[in-house]
Structure 1
Amino acid sequence: MNEDLASYWIETAPPGRPYPTLDSDLNVDVAVIGAGVAGLSTAWELARRGRSVAVLEADRIATGVTGRTTAKLTALHTLVYERLRRTRGIEGAKLYGHSQMGALRRAAEIVDELGIDCDWERAPAFTYTCDRDRTQDLRAEAETAREAGLPAEYVTETELPFPVAGAVRVTDQIQFHPRKYLLALTDDLRRMGASLHEHTRVLGLSEGDYCRLTTESGGVVTATDVVVATHYPIFDRALLFTRLSPRRELVLAAPIDAALDPHGMYISPEEGTRSLRTAPYQDGKRLLLVTGEHFTPGSPDVEERFKRLAGWATDHFGNLSFTHRWATQDNDSTDTVPLIGPLHATSRHTYVATGFGGWGLSSGIMAGQLLSELIDGSTLSWAELYDPRRVASTLREAPAFFKHQARVAKHFLGDRLPPLSGGSVDDIASGDGAVLRVGTHVCAVSRDADGQLHTVSARCTHLGCLVAFNRAEQAWECPCHGSRFDPDGKVIQGPATRPLEQRE
């Protein structure tokens, strides 16, 4: 197995045109923060409507979470429809199905209109179980999904190389190369005159009749409207962090003979999630992508999880030679539904898209449709379903809400009490890290492969939870809200916008 963590999508797409860091002031109609699928889809929809748009990306375009997805574009989101029927009624499930299927149709229109070469394939999507005691759950899901407008049915056989007890099957879904798709959108944005900026981290937002964004690079953007599409919102004024729970998942890729292709996209909530699909490869083979082992950021056993996922894949598909492995991160909202719409209760010009729960491709494309309508002063029938201003403390959300708050409180308060990681700096092996108390400071100390120590503050710069070391990815991660930092404290992933403080 390739020991480097490299996303197949990032490695096999064209490098993309480099875009400059914003180091001067800029005035636009709409500023979009974040250049993943949600941000670029929103920017593209608005530019097509004649709005002047700026896209501000802290790293490279389409190399964040969207560049590390499994790239399933489907409206079948595991077991969401029966859950929505219980919490939002069948009308809520129908609105969800209508909006998600609409995102698939919109993506197909864009691919046709722009002539995008992105390994576009139609395939059925399945949610399956190997547990006979759970087949009733899948029967109910199939029935509700069908009533919600999906071409869904319950089946007992698939083309997987192992038997299933039952499955929900939805036809005519999509799998594709996400980075190739988004680079094509970016090229079209450039042709339409949009201002695109990479390595431009936004630090501040002032709201008013006109919004003002300040950046780490010194440029200031003045915009009538602002869209925060940073996966996890970098601004907490709406307290959305109380309703979002971060989780990471692992992805492995290996070539297989085309005869072993299961011809579909599959997911099971069992065994810490098992999800798979294939993609076009070379020499008459397909690339098998297997995802699973979800865990809280900062878990110490990531390498063991990679081995467990690899073992599951080889048990079911035979001897495999893995060519790529990587990890992705998702945010789950406490009531299942993404948060897309006004950023907070009094927002007039600021909007957010977050909480996609592992289904960011369909929800991100849908967010582009929804937010462009809202910014234009219109609305869609399903806008209220996704509105972030919906009450967070309703009975339907309360159990998950309080469970999430208890977990965060454990890290936020418990982390401030002894004991911290035992041992001393001398005990830290190459490639490992630990949180230690050094004098009056709580420090995150890691040792690189050359034996060099790296010491930074262990307090996440977002809200102060203690970070933990992910050995497999060589990163400090916040278990509360998912911020990630490299060994020298540089921000890899938000919501944090400032690096961990250096320590001697």
Structure 2
Amino acid sequence: MTENQQVSGSYWLQTAPGGRHAALTGDLDVDVAVIGGGIAGLCTAWELTRAGKSVAVLEAGRIAASVTGHTTAKVTALHSLIYDKLRRTRGSEGARLYARSQSEAIEHAAEVAAGLGIDCDWERRSAYTFTRDAGRVEELRAEARAAREAGLPASFVTETGLPFPVAGAVEVTGQAQFHPRKYLLALADDLVARGGRIHEDTTVLGLDEGEPCRLSTESGATVTARDVVVATHYPIFDRALLFTRLSPHRELVVAGTVPADQDPGGMYITPDENTRSVRTAPYGEDGTRRLLMITGEHFTPGTGDTRARFDRLAAWAREHFPDVELTHRWATQDNSPTDTVPLVGPLHHGARHTYVATGFAGWGMSGGMMASLLLTAQITGEECAWSGLYDPRRLAPAVREAPSFLKTQAEVARHFVGDRLRPSPPVEALPPGEGAVVRADGGRLAVYRDEDGALHAVSARCTHLGCLVDFNSAERAWECPCHGSRFDIDGKVVQGPATKPLERRHIGGDAEGRAPAG
């Protein structure tokens, strides 16, 4: 299959399409409303249902189809280079709690899969963080020591199953990988069988934190709940100002098959070369080939040439795995907290019945599983040893969080001001299949010309906090570089935190903002 013939979409979605859940059309009263149907939301809802709570999952799109449906699905407590940093910023006990919480979540998920008989391609593998740069070896040695001291079965190694030499690597044994859609769709079925409710195509717009809480939805239906969990990847409510502590980033994935005897036999990641991550998955019935997934090209949404990044990633895959037959390409997105640790717990300082789970920094599989155990404990009144570590209300010492915080806010400010000053192309210069932010009618419009030459115009101002969007040509989407909201060519929300579409605008065409070329 040639570059242009590759499937543009997630392998997980293609191989586990799943059924549909009806949108919410009438008012609803439950113990707990979970906003967001990704891994954190579904696992939390399932745990709470098992604990005897009446629960409803409210998902704006389809469950396990957004960020979770585009992950590479490593289930590991080795999160690149984190333990040496945690040891310095949170102390040895903080590092131990992080390792323990992630590891216990992984083992719990393995037990759930076995207990429910879920066929989700669960495989045990070692996880590796590697470098090919001899100058970084001491950094990896320190990480191995810190991970081992935190309680993980970690060691520093110089030999791996990769088809090229490495200068050194941290290995943690006994980790896992799986098919996230197969796991979560089975969990969703069991949730419904236990009396839980799932409503797709249900966008939540407002939250009243009373006793009980009330959620307003796009359809006009109201959900009343004693407790609310916001598990929308990037929080859709700004009252906790968490957007000041999160920075969004996207990464690309190319995938294809390799002969089974070329499986590198582990899960690998390197911070080198703008990130490269490698793993395989079962493929086909005869076991002669494996699906190889290569992830990397870390970037801020709405910045740079995504097509060129895909090309670089595909070239890297072919260079190191010459027999790969690339068949798929997709992108994933996550948010990194300014002080490294995810934000899981009460939504803000005054919150009594509202909770949040966000900031998994690319490790949402184990992180989402961990969050479900933590939030279930908090909502049911149980103790959780690592609640304090992940508490969103934590006040990090200025010396620890300030540099990352200031860098994040400076980047947002640069886009908010600078993007309004950059020159824009004339609409007439837009070729079919491309989009750009242009000056028109005294403002900025986001204009896309489709393959038939018709123009689609929407406001370029993100409906979250007002930054200007930019066009991602590879995925044909408008993206906000400030907080990661994404919209389709007609302005519909593809990914939050925005909950409202970009306004349709007229640009010399009909009332819908479409115009013929010419």
Aligned to 1:163: 165
Superposition pairs of residues 446-485 of structure 1, within 5 angstroms: 446-485=448-487
Distance 1:370 1:17 in 2: 29
- Paired position in structure 1 for 2:306: 302
Q: Deviations over 1:276-302 (max 9, x none)?
A: 100001241001000000111012310
Q: Which residue of 1 aligns with 2:202?
A: 200
Q: 2:294 aligns with which of 279, 290, 293?
A: 290
2: distance between equivalents of 1:205 and 1:220?
10
Report whether the alignment pairs 1:420 with 2:441.
no
State yes or no: 1:213 paired with 2:215: yes
Counterpart of 1:42 in structure 2 is 44
**1:9 pairs with one of 3, 9, 12:** 12
- State how far apart, in whole Å, the 1-side matches of 2:400 and 2:317 are: 36
Provide the rounded CA distance (Å) in 1 between the counterparts of 2:428 and 2:416.
Answer: 27
- Give 1:336's aligned residue: 340
Q: Give the TM-score normalised by structure 1.
A: 0.98
- Displacement of 1:456 in angstroms is 0.2
Are the equivalent residues in 2 in contact too, given 1:420–1:435 (CA < 8 A)?
no
Displacement of 1:3 in angstroms is 4.3
Cα distance in 2 for residues equivalent to 1:189 and 1:485:
30
Structure 2 counterparts to residues 219-230 of structure 1, below 5 A: 219-230=221-232
Task: Kindly provide the amino acid, as one letter, of the partner of residue 13 in structure 2.
Answer: I
Structure 1 distance, partners of 2:395, 2:480, is 27
Q: Which residues in structure 2 correspond to 1:99-248 (within 5 Å)?
A: 99-248=101-250
Q: Quote how far apart the aligned CAs of 1:262 are.
A: 0.4
Q: Is the 8 A contact 2:9 2:330 kept in 1?
A: yes
Q: How far is the alpha carbon of 1:392 from its aligned partner?
A: 4.9
- 1:135-166 CA-partner distances (Å, limit 9, x unpaired): 11111111110111111011000010000000
Task: Give 1:451 shift.
Answer: 1.4
State the secondary structure of the residue aligned to 1:59.
Answer: coil
SS of residue in 1 equivalent to 2:63: coil
> Hey, what does 2:391 align to over in structure 1?
387
Aligned counterpart, 1:321: 325
Distance 1:255 1:446 in 2: 35
Q: Retained in 2: the 8 A contact 1:32–1:39?
A: yes
TM-score, scaled relative to structure 2: 0.96
**Aligned partners of 1:312, 1:442: CA distance in 2, in Å?**
38
Amino acid at match of 2:394: R
Report whether the alignment pairs 1:373 with 2:377: yes
The whole-number CA distance in structure 2 between the counterparts of 1:365 and 1:450 is: 45
Deviation at 1:411, TM superposition (A): 1.2
Check whether the contact 2:6–2:327 (CA below 8 A) recurs between aligned residues. no
1:31 aligns with 2:33: yes
CA distance in 1, matches of 2:212, 2:336: 31
Q: 2:155 corresponds to which letter in structure 1?
A: E
- Corresponding position of 2:253: 251
Distance 2:152 2:438 in 1: 52
Letter in 2 for 1:7: S
Residues 157-214 of structure 1: CA deviation (Å, up to 9, x unaligned) = 0010000000000111001100000001000000011111000010000001110001
Where does residue 358 of structure 2 map in the other structure?
354
For structure 1, the 5+ residue unaligned runs are none
The residue number in structure 1 matching 2:315 is: 311
Retained in 1: the 8 A contact 2:247–2:338?
Answer: yes
SS in structure 2 of the partner of residue 357 of structure 1: coil
1:217 positional shift: 1.6
Size of the alignment, in residue pairs? 501
Q: CA RMSD in A?
A: 0.9
- The answer to whether the 8 A contact 1:44-1:185 is kept is yes
Offset of 1:483 from its aligned partner? 0.1
Q: Which amino acid in structure 1 is aligned with residue 84 of structure 2?
A: E
SS of corresponding position for 2:191:
helix
User: In 2, Cα distance between the equivalents of 1:357 and 1:420?
Assistant: 33
SS of alignment partner, residue 180 of structure 1: helix
Deviations for 1:431-468, whole angstroms, at most 9, x for unmatched residues?
11111110212100111122111000000000000000
Amino acid paired to 1:386: Y
Distance 1:393 1:88, change over 3 A: closer
